[in-house]
């Protein structure tokens, strides 16, 4: 579906340039061992994900949302604190993290900030490091890179027994990939410092993603995504755990007209990402393909000026410490 790993506009990974290696040398010392269990984002999927972000423009409304709500939250979080610690999980190419960190720096310009990043995809992590290398304000922040899944980070932290606490933790479009929703939320909420916040960005209930994946959950579920989740499931979980939260809407749509042109490579790439398959046309029977395309056109989208517009709404949920 998505990932918190959002890397819209991130640079494609190829040969690392020498300046990038030098600029990240201080931070590379904090990299943890590579997790043998990867996320769904291998090199091919990382490129597919970036293509989706470019087509959907998903980051722009996310940026607008966090610029509206986080400055006030940060003022409450940082009261009387001499340092601030941030954790990003499933951070991908780091664009959302960069916005969050820049806002935090502008709110508390004299307070030192540290950042831990948990991401299972090597290519997206390299994209994040490239973003740091060309962003002066981010270079002032020490990064600890944890190249592993959320579950393995949790296991490692618990095994060490010395849990680093954070003022702000963000799980951006990654909650679909964890094995146990309640355990994941409980763990990260337990890592919050006094007055901290856990930010979860997830597909909105009844958005097009939610309709597609609930209708064809059996056919679409795989190794990476085994359980469809939207803001409805996250909020139900928070209520069952007795956790306090605020919810904010993030509105977004994008054009999927090309999905209905079998000869369009853009359409094929979008269908691959929407269904989390390497090849949409080879992955399903003709009947299932036809059903998915019919659903996308008639129940997941609206038509405007002859174009098919997909509802890509998300929810931003802030969980209290």
Torsion of CA 10, 234, 317, 269, to 10 degrees: 20
Q: Is 161 helix (H, G, I), strand (E, B) or coil?
A: coil
From the first residue on, what is the mean pLDDT of each consecutive set of 10 residues in the chain (321 residues)?
Answer: 38 33 37 43 72 87 96 94 96 95 96 96 93 96 96 93 92 92 97 97 96 93 75 97 97 96 95 91 95 96 95 97 95
- Do the Cβ atoms of 143 and 30 come closer than 8 Å? yes
State the pLDDT at residue 128.
Answer: 96
CATH number of the domain at 23-320, out of 3.40.50.150, 3.30.1280.10, 3.40.1130.10, 3.40.50.2300?
Answer: 3.40.50.150
Model confidence, pTM: 0.85
State the pLDDT at residue 164.
Answer: 93
DSSP secondary structure string for all residues of 241-275: HT--EEEEEE--EEE-GGGG-TT-HHHHHHHHHHH
Q: Give me the residue spans of the domains in the chain.
A: 23-320
Q: DSSP state, 167?
A: E
Whole-angstrom Cα distance, residue 167 to residue 216?
38
In 3D, which of 144, 84, 132 has the Cα closest to residue 108? Answer: 84
Whole-angstrom Cα distance, residue 292 to residue 284?
10
The sign of the dihedral angle between the CA atoms of 303, 272, 56, 214 is positive
- Do the Cβ atoms of 41 and 177 come closer than 8 Å? no
């Amino acid at each position: 579906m998505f990932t918190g790993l959002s890397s819209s506009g991130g640079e494609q990974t190829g040969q690392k340039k020498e300046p990038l290696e030098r600029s990240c040398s201080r931070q590379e010392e904090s990299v943890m061992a590579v997790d043998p269990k990867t996320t769904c984002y291998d090199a091919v999927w990382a490129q597919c994900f970036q293509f989706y972000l470019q087509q959907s423009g998903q980051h722009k409304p996310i940026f607008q949302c966090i610029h509206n709500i986080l400055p006030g939250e940060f003022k409450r979080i940082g009261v009387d604190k001499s340092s601030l610690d941030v954790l990003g999980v499933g951070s991908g190419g780091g664009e959302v993290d960069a916005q969050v960190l820049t806002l935090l720096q502008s709110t508390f310009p004299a307070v030192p900030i540290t950042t831990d990043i948990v991401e299972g995809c090597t290519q997206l992590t390299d994209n994040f490091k490239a973003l740091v290398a060309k962003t002066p304000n981010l270079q002032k922040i020490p990064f600890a890179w944890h190249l592993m899944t959320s579950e393995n980070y949790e296991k490692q932290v618990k095994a060490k027994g010395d849990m680093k606490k954070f003022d702000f933790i963000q799980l951006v479009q990654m909650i679909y990939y964890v094995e146990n929703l309640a355990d994941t939320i409980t763990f990260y909420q337990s890592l919050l410092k006094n007055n901290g916040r856990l930010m979860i960005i997830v597909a909105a209930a009844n958005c097009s993603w939610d309709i597609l994946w609930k209708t064809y959950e059996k056919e679409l579920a795989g190794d990476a995504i085994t359980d469809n989740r939207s803001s409805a499931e996250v909020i139900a979980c928070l209520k069952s755990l007795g956790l306090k939260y605020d919810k904010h809407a993030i509105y977004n749509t994008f054009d999927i007209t090309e999905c209905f042109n079998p000869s369009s490579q853009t359409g094929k790439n979008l269908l691959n990402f929407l269904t989390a398959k390497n090849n949409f046309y080879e992955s399903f029977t003709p009947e299932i393909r036809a059903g998915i395309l019919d659903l996308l056109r008639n129940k997941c989208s609206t038509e405007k000026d002859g174009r098919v517009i997909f509802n890509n709404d998300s929810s931003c949920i802030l969980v209290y410490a």
